[in-house]
């Protein structure tokens, strides 16, 4: 019993629950279908024991599957790395340059952001990925990007196997005429394959081919997007912060020259910040090497400026005029609201008539904002924000509560 417990008991056993989510279920299903069909079709098309080429093809196929799963599970279970709860900078005076997180009861270190899904402040957060049901951040960025590279390569190899299997198996069963193509699936071949290529096998191969090609295109595009930000030593969130910094400087004509602090000036040096031979990224996730003209808090100071500017320019007060139960796709709010629901895992907030909301962004049919809470709720650190249908609210012609509802203390 003690021998068994050494294998079963480990501190991250609770992380297995990340598999119980639609993202990993779909991702692992696609991997399983493509890998299984590729192995079976390899046996039909290019029997690995007959030729050297067949053996190499089969070994490469197994190799893709192992590497894809290795990087996928590492990206999921190693995790992005979290800021310790209640973290404070060593120099207490530096706290003025940082945002405070009420949920984690601590300050956000440079490059960190609070994830509402993980309910923690994440080191060097890039985004929360539903396919791994975890954040992509400091410690798993290399695993996640490697997965994005290996998945299209493996699916491309599988797609070639699917195409060649269908071609070789159907070649002698297809007769071409001037105006018609006749496929006789019942034709008997002179040499029977080890495994029969029946109509269900053809349908399954065609389905797997569609999955493989779709994965190659979609995941391949994500890989190039990730490499673009990695070679500049940025994250997706930091790219957005940089764009907003330029907009703020242009809007107020401040004459500032914003320099992104973490770009080391060389793509190779930026690349090595994420990818190392050991698999462990450089740094502790709290302090970072910076540009000579910048310091540790250059980006966090810019974030504070953007937060203040957002309160001045973006927050508009609205009052709820219709009830809303918080459904993702409400049927009773119109067809456009139903079909144009935001494609995001960000929450929806239920509304009652008379509720006041400070909207910060929106689309033609939906809006996103913070619900104005009572003083007791605010003292308790409660915050309710999310999406709601635009038709459920109307713009207030006064703005008396906006100043009362925002705190001078920076929160997530």
End-to-end CA distance of the chain: 46
Assign domain 316-395 to its CATH superfamily: SH3 Domains (2.30.30.40)
Question: Are β-strands 127-129 and 120-122 bridged in parallel, bridged antiparallel, or unpaired?
Answer: unpaired
pLDDT at 190 over 80: no
Query: Closest Cα to residue 120, out of 89, 88, 82, 86?
Result: 82
pLDDT at 172: 56
pLDDT at 359: 87
Give per-residue pLDDT as tens, 1-45: 343 343 333 445 667 889 999 999 999 999 999 999 999 988 888
Query: Closest Cα to residue 227, out of 140, 281, 152, 149?
Result: 149
Rounded distance between C-alpha atoms, residue 269 and residue 278, angstroms: 16
Rounded to the nearest angstrom, the gap between the alpha carbon of residue 109 and the centroid of all alpha carbons in its chain is: 21
Active site residue 343: no
The answer to whether 337 and 365 have CB atoms below 8 angstroms apart is: yes
pLDDT at 373 over 90: no
Q: Find the mean pLDDT for residues 167-182.
A: 59
Quote the percentage of the chain above a pLDDT of 70. Answer: 85
pLDDT band at 178 (very low <50, low <70, confident <90, very high): very low
pLDDT at 363: 86
Q: Find the mean pLDDT for residues 388-410.
A: 64
pLDDT at 195 over 80: no
Helix residue ranges per DSSP H, 340-398: 375-379
Nearest 5°: the CA angle 111, 228, 79 is 45
Q: What backbone phi and psi angles, to 5 degrees, belong to 248?
A: -65, -45
pLDDT at 315: 64
pLDDT at 234: 94
pLDDT at 381: 74
Sheet containing 316-320: give its strands across: 385-389, 366-371, 356-362, 316-320, 393-395
Q: Find the mean pLDDT for residues 274-284.
A: 90
pLDDT at 196: 66
pLDDT band at 189 (very low <50, low <70, confident <90, very high): very low
pLDDT at 401 over 50: no
Would you list the domain boundaries of the chain? 10-80+140-178+191-232, 316-395
Give per-residue pLDDT as tens, 377-395: 877 778 888 999 999 999 8
pLDDT at 362: 83
Give per-residue pLDDT as tens, 112-121: 999 988 999 9
The one catalytic residue in 129, 135, 155, 392 is 129
**pLDDT, the chain, mean:** 85
pLDDT at 224 over 50: yes
Q: Quick one: tokens of 360?
A: 């910060």
Task: Return the SS3 of 159.
Answer: helix
- Residue 306 contacts by C-beta under 8 Å, 6 or more apart in sequence? 241, 244, 245, 248
Running DSSP on this structure, what letter comes out for residue 403?
H
* pTM for this predicted structure: 0.80
pLDDT at 333 over 70: yes
């Amino acid at each position: 019993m003690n021998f068994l417990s050494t294998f079963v008991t480990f501190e991250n056993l609770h992380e297995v629950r990340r598999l119980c989510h639609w993202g990993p279920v779909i991702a692992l299903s696609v991997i399983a279908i493509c890998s299984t069909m590729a192995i079976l079709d390899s046996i039909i098309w290019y029997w690995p024991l007959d030729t050297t080429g067949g053996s190499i093809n089969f070994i490469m196929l197994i190799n893709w599957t192992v590497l894809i799963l290795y990087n996928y599970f590492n990206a999921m279970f190693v995790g992005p790395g979290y800021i310790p709860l209640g973290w404070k900078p060593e120099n207490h005076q530096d706290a003025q340059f940082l945002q405070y997180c009420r949920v984690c009861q601590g300050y956000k270190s440079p490059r960190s952001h609070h994830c509402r899904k993980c309910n923690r402040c994440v080191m060097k957060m890039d985004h929360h990925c539903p396919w791994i049901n975890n954040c992509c951040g400091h410690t798993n960025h290399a695993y996640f990007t490697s997965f994005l590279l290996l998945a299209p390569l493996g699916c491309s190899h599988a797609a070639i196997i699917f195409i060649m299997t269908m071609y070789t198996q159907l070649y002698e069963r297809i007769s071409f005429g001037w105006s018609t193509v006749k496929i006789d699936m019942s034709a008997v071949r002179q040499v029977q394959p080890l495994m029969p290529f029946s109509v269900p096998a053809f349908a399954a191969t065609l389905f797997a081919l569609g999955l493989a090609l779709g994965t190659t295109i979609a995941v391949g595009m994500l890989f190039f997007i990730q490499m673009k930000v990695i070679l500049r030593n940025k994250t997706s969130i930091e790219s957005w912060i940089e764009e907003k910094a330029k907009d703020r400087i242009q809007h107020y004509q401040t004459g500032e020259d914003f320099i992104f602090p973490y770009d080391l000036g060389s793509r190779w040096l930026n690349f090595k910040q994420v990818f190392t031979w050991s698999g462990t990224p450089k740094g502790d996730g709290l302090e970072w090497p910076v540009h000579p003209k910048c310091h540790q808090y250059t980006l966090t100071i810019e974030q504070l400026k953007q937060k203040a500017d957002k309160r001045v320019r973006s927050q508009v007060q609205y009052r709820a005029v219709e009830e809303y139960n918080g459904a993702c796709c409400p049927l009773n709010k119109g067809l456009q609201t139903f079909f144009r629901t935001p494609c995001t895992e960000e929450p929806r907030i239920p509304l009652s008539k008379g509720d006041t909301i400070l909207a910060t962004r929106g689309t033609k049919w939906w809006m996103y904002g913070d619900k104005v809470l009572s003083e007791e709720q605010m003292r308790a650190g409660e915050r309710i924000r999310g999406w709601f249908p635009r038709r459920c609210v109307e713009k207030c012609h006064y703005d008396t509560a906006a100043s009362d509802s925002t705190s001078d203390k920076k929160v997530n």
